[in-house]
Structure formats: C-alpha cells, structure tokens
Structure 1
C-alpha cells in the first residue's frame, strides 16, 4: 500500500495575521459566511469585517449553536445557502471549526479556518468529529480534503483562557505515541495509506516542542502575551499535531477519550484533557518504560493536565462505569485497534484503572 500524507492547502501564522483575512478570502470567493461562538466573535468580528470591507468581500456572520451535531450542521448550511455564500469561514474552537468544515463539505465550497484557541488539532484536519446534541461522541466525518486556509493569530490565542491552550497540549501530547503505535502495527492513517517518514518526524517534533516549551508557553499565556515559546506551542498544537495524527494515524488515546464521553461526569472536561488521560492509558496498554511514563506525568503535572480519573470528573470509580468506557473505546471501527498490542474491553478496563493508580501515586509524591 502507498504512503500518503495530507495537509491544509495553506497555513498562515503570525501576530496580527487576522488583519489580512480579507485579502486571503479573495482567493476563494466574494461572499463569506462566517460562523463562530459569542466569545470568538467578540474578539474577531470587527477585525474580520474591516479586513473584508477593505478587500471588497461581503460577509454574513452567524452564531454557532455550541455543538458539532448533524442538526447544527444542517442549520448553518441552510442559512449559508439562503445568503448565497460562496466561501465558508469558521472562527473559534474545535467544534465550530469542525462544523464549518462539514458545512463547506456539504455545500462543496472552500473553507477558511480561524482558530481563536489552540485547544485541539482540529483546525488543519480533513476530519469533523460529530457529537449528539447532548455532547456524546457519535461519529467521524472524513472529508475529501483539508481546509483551504488555516489562519492563526497567536496574539488572539494568547488572550484566551489558559486552560484551553493546556488542553491543546493534551491533545497534541497523544500525537507521537499514536503515530508510533500505528507505525509499529502497520496500520493505515486517516487518508487510508501508510505513514511517511515526514509525518512520523513531525509527530515526534510535536512531542519534543511540548516537552521543551510547554511550561514556558503556559506562563506566557497566563500573562496574555505571545512569546516565541507560546508561538512554538501554538504551532505544535495546531499544525504539527494535525499533520501528525492525520498522516500517521490515531490509536488508543483518542479511543479512550471517545469512551470517556459516555460518562456524563466527564462532559465538563475538555477534549484534550480527556485525551491526555487517554495517552497515559495507552502507555500502560503498551507497557512503556517507567522513564517514558514519568516524563509524560511530569509534563502533564507541570502544565496542569489531568493524570487521574478524578481530575476529569470521575470521582467515584464504579466497575460498571469504567467497563462502559472500555467497551465504548473498543467499539467496532475504533482507532484502538491500530495498537500493536492486544486489546479488548477487559484489557482496556485494567489499563484505565492502572493509569489512574499511577497518576494518583505520582500526584501524591
């Protein structure tokens, strides 16, 4: 089977980059349908409107309903069609960006992605994660192409809540370990091929940047400033993690995340926070070395990522609940089967409890 690597058509990152969005939209259309959440619009709407007016682009702004569900995708699609849009722009976090990608896909239009947080690797991917209106994972929508443009302004991201940046580090943390697992098992990546050496090395670079600059980036974000360390972590969370997971593959960490969504107690935890705990579960499944596990634990604790079930909301451990998580993680078609070690609900159940015990013991030091 051939090796396949995919990526956004264009990635643009820089302080003040959002002011150039009007010029960038010109390459794709003349009437933009822009969707975003209330907070994202409060930070960006005036800048986008001014830049588009200067470039002669007509804009229609529509608020995002809060969940990347089939119903919300259809609602926004109908509104965009009614307004005669010929380019879709998504502004905000992972769920609105995935929704914008899905809307553009169903309308067969170009899509421009403007993340205002660095909380997930959603911006660059040819993938939309679909949830029920209640927030339970439903399915993956694999798209035929990546976004046409991903425009990232670290100055805006630096003003976002620090927890969101840290959550993005949790999502990015899984990238290398899942890529490595897929390579060892000879699993297919998201576009259906095998990983390239470039994708594997980008996944590893993502991990190395987090370990080297993650804590510094968090401190910068706490002061609301875009330092070189923060810019590197924004690139790792957004671009490197996106390229790494998509062109190398997903494995146990994201499957465990999906499993955790069946427990209502975890719904307050962000995607990357659950993925971080899922990464620890994956390391236990793979029987990784004490040194490797400790490096991950030290990183997570330093930046504030969860390493126990209690930290993602599961304060009372019940056999039935943990087994539900394990069974959901092992559902047909889940990415956990890309692992190079045996997996089944009983094995995953044990790994979840062992990971929680390891994290609890580390916290107690």
Structure 2
C-alpha cells in the first residue's frame, strides 16, 4: 500500500512490479483525474495501458464487456480507479480472469479499495448479489490529492459506511471467540469512536489533520476490519436495507454510505422494538445527532425523496427481507412489515417510564 499527497505520481515502479500491460477500469470522471499521471507513468516504466469503462455499474453486462477488453489488450493486471462500484468492478474482473489488481480510490466514500468483496448490480443500479474474492488487491494507492478533489458528501458517506462496521459486526460476531474475529470487532469499536470524535472537524476542514485521519479510517481501517473478520464478521440489517433501497429508482442518487447510514438507524430501531438491545434507543439518538452534523439521512424522507411512498418502502422492505438477506443475521426474525415499521420511525424519540422524551 502506498499513501500520501501525490502518491499516484510516485507509484510507477510499484505498478510496474504488478504488471506491464494494465487495463485501467473506471468511469469518465476518474479517467480524467488520473489519465495524465498514468500516461506519464506508462512512458517512464514502458507500460502499455488499456482503458475500459466501468459504467453504468458493476453489472454482469459490464463485466462481460471488460473481460473482452482485457483479453484483446492482453492485460496482465487490472488497475481500478474511482469510487466503490468502479473498484468492485476492477476487483471482480481480476478475480474472474485470475489477474492481480491495483486500486486507486478517488474518494473516501467506501473501503472497497482494500476489501476482498465485490457487489454486483443491474445496469440500472439495483443490487443483485455479492461475491467473496480469494484475495485483496495486490496494491492500493491512496493519493490524498485525488481524495481532496471529491465532493465533501463522499467523505460523509464513507463515514456512514465505515461506522456501520461496529453496529453490524457487534451483532453478528460479538459473541464469537476466534482471535481475528474478536480483533475485528474491537477494531470496529475503535473506528466508531474515532469517527465520532473527528468526523465533524474533518468535514469542516478538508486537508486538515483530522481530515487525513478520517480518510484513512474510512478507506484503510474499515478495510482492515473486513480483512481480519472476513466472512465471519458479517453485515446485518444496515446493508440489507441499503440493498433493498437500491431497487427504488428514487433512491439511485443516494450514495452507498448514505443508504447504509440510514440502515444503521433502522437496525437499531428494530433492536429497540424487539427489546433485544437495551442500548439501542440511546445509540440511535446518538447517531441522529451525529448525522445532523454531517448531513447524513436521518429518515426515509430526507434528501428530497418526496416521491418515495410507503408502497415503495414496502417493496424495499420485502427485498431486504429476502431469504438470503443479511438481515437474518439479527438474533430475531424480521418480516417486511416489521422492517417497514422501523424504516418509518427512525427519528422516534426514546420512550421512558411511559413518557416520551423529545429529541
């Protein structure tokens, strides 16, 4: 892993050690950001670059097209550039072709740059399934210059995605005794605390000391937790809610981490309603305040989604409760009606002693 301001421009020899004929996979914006640097590296290191678009999504059709492009280019490695979906596309393409993968994230919106997992969507952006990969990327290049050019909203989304590690892993794996799983869950707690303490300052001062720390937390520490815990450190309701919402066209402008952040509130509301977690209501109220500072969604109607009706949410709830859904890693059964009730009541104040306490 290479990280630093301008890290990509210094990464030529590291890239050349991975492959001589990289197929660069990313969207139009990412290509524009890195094309000059990669062209210079190719000249310096005598590399032969190929270019393949990851648009419109990490879908089976896009992957099939990129497989053909990689074959025609005689690629010996895949170099993914962009956000989470572009990096998932690059990782899964490398997995399918048994080629090493290099990742260059252009935002701090997810930990996809370092994880051995990829999500597959339809061309329209609806989540279909995830794929566990046999290894993490061979090289991650975290260039703060690229991250700094991303909209602040992407870092807030990355915080929402990263903080879910604690709320999901503590439920799915907090009882396990395997050393690395225990380490992953405890690191998720550290990650949560760091984000609570430093996120507001990081958003307020891009490029400041706490901005660097939060960027590394969302991209690197969150990825380490996934690597340590692996399949045993599972996602639960927060990501299941995300997966259901991706099937609603009105939600397609939400970023991954924004949907996951909302999903954490839903998960805590479910735990609260089921009475399985005595701290769930307090944790939910803490997150509501935290989200308000970062601009993350606190309820389903946030972000101008007036077109999302209860019928739409019911459909998302049905999809989130599919038999294979991660929501069933909760310690209690959940049906779509129960999930819908939680989705529409994430901002409900805590009730104590038969009285309602205002937020």
- TM-score, normalised with respect to structure 1: 0.88
Q: Deviations over 1:247-277 (max 9, x none)?
A: 2221110001111122221111111111110
Aligned residues of 2:174 and 2:185 also touching (Cα < 8 A): no
Tell me the equivalent position of 1:199.
Answer: 184
Match among 330, 335, 348 for residue 326 of structure 2 = 335
1:20 aligns with 2:24: no
1:279 aligns with 2:271: no
Residue 145 of structure 2: SS of its match in structure 1?
A: helix
Aligned residues of 1:97 and 1:122 also touching (Cα < 8 A): yes
* CA apart distance, 1:213: 1.1
Match among 238, 261, 270 for residue 246 of structure 2 = 261
Q: Where do 5+ consecutive residues of structure 1 fail to align?
A: 1-10, 188-192
* CA apart distance, 1:356: 4.8
Tell me the equivalent position of 2:300.
Answer: 309
Match among 284, 291, 296 for residue 293 of structure 1 = 284
* CA apart distance, 1:185: 6.1
Tell me the equivalent position of 2:49.
Answer: 59
The structure-2 alpha-carbon separation of the partners of 1:251 and 1:195, relative to structure 1 and needing over 3 Å to count, comes to: farther
Match among 205, 211, 223 for residue 242 of structure 1 = 223
Aligned residues of 2:118 and 2:131 also touching (Cα < 8 A): yes
Tell me the equivalent position of 1:6.
Answer: none
* CA apart distance, 1:335: 0.9
Q: Where do 5+ consecutive residues of structure 2 fail to align?
A: 273-278, 351-357
Aligned residues of 2:161 and 2:261 also touching (Cα < 8 A): yes
Match among 211, 217, 225 for residue 230 of structure 1 = 211
- TM-score, normalised with respect to structure 2: 0.89
Q: What is the alpha-carbon distance in structure 2 between the residues aligned to residue 32 and residue 119 of structure 1?
A: 24
Tell me the equivalent position of 1:173.
Answer: 163
The structure-2 alpha-carbon separation of the partners of 1:78 and 1:242, relative to structure 1 and needing over 3 Å to count, comes to: same
Match among 134, 137, 140 for residue 130 of structure 2 = 140
Q: Deviations over 1:98-139 (max 9, x none)?
A: 111111111110000000111112111111111101111111
Q: What is the alpha-carbon distance in structure 1 between the residues aligned to residue 349 and residue 332 of structure 2?
A: 20
Aligned residues of 1:33 and 1:60 also touching (Cα < 8 A): yes
Q: What is the alpha-carbon distance in structure 1 between the residues aligned to residue 299 and residue 103 of structure 2?
A: 33
CA RMSD of aligned residues (A): 2.1
Map of 1:210-221 to 2, 5 A cutoff? 210-221=195-206
Structure with the bigger RCO (C-alpha within 8 Å, sep 6+) is 1
1:86 aligns with 2:76: yes
Give aligned pairs, total.
342
Residue 205 of structure 2: SS of its match in structure 1?
A: helix
Tell me the equivalent position of 1:325.
Answer: 316
Tell me the equivalent position of 2:28.
Answer: 38
Residue 129 of structure 2: SS of its match in structure 1?
A: strand
Aligned residues of 2:125 and 2:247 also touching (Cα < 8 A): no
